[in-house]
Amino acid sequence: MKKRIFISIHYMEIGGAEISLMGLLDSIDYSKYDVDLFIYKHKGELMEYIPKEVNILPEEKAYANLENPIRKALFNGRFRLVAARLKAKIDFKSYCRNHPDMFDDFAVHQITAKRTTPVLPSLEKYGEYDLAISFLQPHNIVLEKVMAKKKICWIHTDYTVVSVDPEMELPVWQRFDRIISISDAVTETFLKVFPSLSDKITVMQNILPQSFVDRRSLLIPQETIRKEMPVEDGVVNILSIGRYSIQKNFDNVPQICRYILDSGCRVRWYIMGWGSEEGVIRANIEKYGVASNVILLGKKQNPYPYIKACDWYVQPSRYEGAAVTVREAQMLHRPIIITNYPTAASQVKDGLDGKIVPLENKKCAEGIVAAVNDENLKNSIVSYLSAHRYGNEDEIRVLEKLLEG
């Protein structure tokens, strides 16, 4: 008899965690496992790419309204859920007052989960699973609402550079059988915040099948891509991909680009993505006079042909766990520049399969200029990437061992 696996995620918009989940789903042996995928709100470009063997559970209205604005959730009659979300807002404001040095709103996720999970309906009607997976934080729903013999959850980010309430989060992490970390560097940073959880950690890299990336990179002709990313003599085409968020640091790209242009280096920096920081990015594009050089491509269903078309892929993030887009660029043999965020060295061997530059804007610009002007460096990086394999379908064995053990 096949073993049953339950996996939960918020939605299937294009993002690093969602792409990682697609890699996981593509690698599962469906002759051995039945997989139920519970998506809180059935939205996102990746919905249509979910493997046909996966059973997508019906959307539950209460869970879908976790992803809706409060006004819409109220209109939909989710009164208890709205009350819980409003209480969470009050709790978060109180938390902010008591933590004036907080630099992002990451803590709001756990605060909201603590309030909203109790009013959500149980998912035990789907029966008992052999394994339940909470793929994206907060992890309360799988813990409280799903019946399973084993439960595991994922760490996707560097916990030393986000604002969290360890006292509130620790009891949640403690109750899982295993915690999956996407890299050794992410494990190290996580254990600095939660040292008592060391015996629960298992490392399993984000799964990215080479065949999946290669296949999709060919779906759009390069001539079509060139209409959006034209080639011009003497101009270096840079591409960055990610949500328009504080983490990705795209708000600083206009100033970095201005420094690059002032050095005499001609670049066009394309940013693909979406998110709440778009207004800030556009304001800074205007502020630094780089409207012709920093171009927002918006959200794209298939980023791979664009990665293939760029001269350099640049990840200018403030922090990352293990950026999926960096490995995607490596798999497509594009030269890579990343900023020196805390886990950077776990993704790029500096000078070998990419280049690591300082995070500070001026020094970042200087590092980019030095790299893009060094044709020998570019060629050696491309040569190294072409000779090495960055797909890792075999990582699914880690999950199978946890399930079978």
Would you state the torsion angle of the CA atoms of residues 148, 400, 201, 66, taken in this order, to the nearest 10 degrees?
Answer: -50
State residue 59's pLDDT score: 96
Where residue 208 falls among pLDDT bands split at 50, 70, 90?
confident
Check if 3-208+394-404 and 210-387 are the same fold.
yes
- CA dist 360 and 61 (Å) reads 44
State residue 32's pLDDT score: 95
Q: What contacts 96, CB < 8 A, 6 or more positions away? A: 102
Looking at residues 44-63, what average pLDDT do you find? 94
Judged by average pLDDT, the poorest of 30-44, 95-109, 336-350, 351-365 is: 95-109
User: What is the C-alpha end-to-end distance of the chain, expressed in Å?
Assistant: 16
Judging by beta carbons within 10 Å of its beta carbon (0-12, 13-18, 19+), is residue 258 exposed, middle or buried?
buried
State residue 227's pLDDT score: 94
- CA dist 352 and 334 (Å) reads 12
Tell me the pLDDT tens digit for each residue of 283-294: 999 999 999 999
Phi-psi bin for 391: left (phi > 0), alpha (psi -120 to 50), beta?
beta
State residue 133's pLDDT score: 98
Judged by average pLDDT, the poorest of 74-78, 200-204, 329-333 is: 74-78
Architecture of domain 210-387: 3-Layer(aba) Sandwich (3.40)
- CA dist 366 and 383 (Å) reads 24
Where residue 187 falls among pLDDT bands split at 50, 70, 90?
very high
State residue 104's pLDDT score: 67
Architecture of domain 3-208+394-404: 3-Layer(aba) Sandwich (3.40)
Judging by beta carbons within 10 Å of its beta carbon (0-12, 13-18, 19+), is residue 242 exposed, middle or buried?
buried
Question: Is the CB of residue 307 less than 8 Å from the CB of residue 332?
Answer: yes
Reply yes or no: is the peptide bond before residue 166 cis, omega within 30 of 0.
no
Tell me the pLDDT tens digit for each residue of 94-103: 888 888 776 6
Token pair 């060295």 in the structure block, residue: 345
Judging by beta carbons within 10 Å of its beta carbon (0-12, 13-18, 19+), is residue 38 exposed, middle or buried?
buried
Break the chain down into helix, strand, coil percent, rounded to 5: 45, 15, 40
φ/ψ (deg, to 5) at 295: -120, 125
Q: Which amino acid is at 101?
A: D
Spans of all domains in the chain = 3-208+394-404, 210-387
Question: Is the CB of residue 128 less than 8 Å from the CB of residue 148?
Answer: yes
State residue 102's pLDDT score: 67
Tell me the pLDDT tens digit for each residue of 14-28: 888 898 899 999 999
Q: Which residues pair with 154 in a beta bridge?
A: 180
* pLDDT, the chain, mean: 93
Where residue 234 falls among pLDDT bands split at 50, 70, 90?
very high
Tell me the pLDDT tens digit for each residue of 345-395: 989 999 999 999 999 999 999 999 999 999 999 999 999 999 998 878 888
